[in-house]
Amino acid sequence: MIQRLLYCLVLLLAFLAPPAAAEVPKPAVAIANPGQCVAPADVMRRSHMDMLKHQRDRTLRQGERGAKYSLNACIECHASKDSGSVLGGKENFCEGCHSYVAIKLDCFECHQPKAMKTAGARP
């Protein structure tokens, strides 16, 4: 019984997966301040979460300010030209890629996804 179910499942996946993946377009993001990032793109793609995680502990728990890596600094450059946010849709930097790779994004449960000016930050 279980075997048969598994077999069906595998068949179903084999049938569905490739065309579905082909249909999802690569995210096309347009960011507000393009330029030099803190590390090369391939490093950033692979390791940005580690950098952020390492830095979050140093900033919050040890009080380090003005460090090289900072989520707010990410947002300042990478927020969308139109909405000023890294969230919102496929063309927004964080959400676009995270929904493409289907990985849950937890930062913005608490962090403000908009750049300082758009969010109306105090100096």
- First and final CA of the chain: distance in angstroms? 65
The secondary structure of the chain in percent helix, strand, coil, rounded to multiples of 5, reads 55, 5, 40
Which pair of tokens denotes residue 115?
């750049």
CB of 99 to another protein, least distance (A): 18
Binding site for another protein (CB under 8 A): 56-58, 60-67, 72, 75, 109-112, 114-116, 119, 121-123
CB of 25 to another protein, least distance (A): 28
Nearest to another protein of 26, 65 (CB atom): 65
- Selection from 60, 59, 78, 80 nearest residue 68 by Cα: 59
Nearest to another protein of 26, 122 (CB atom): 122
Nearest to another protein of 13, 67 (CB atom): 67
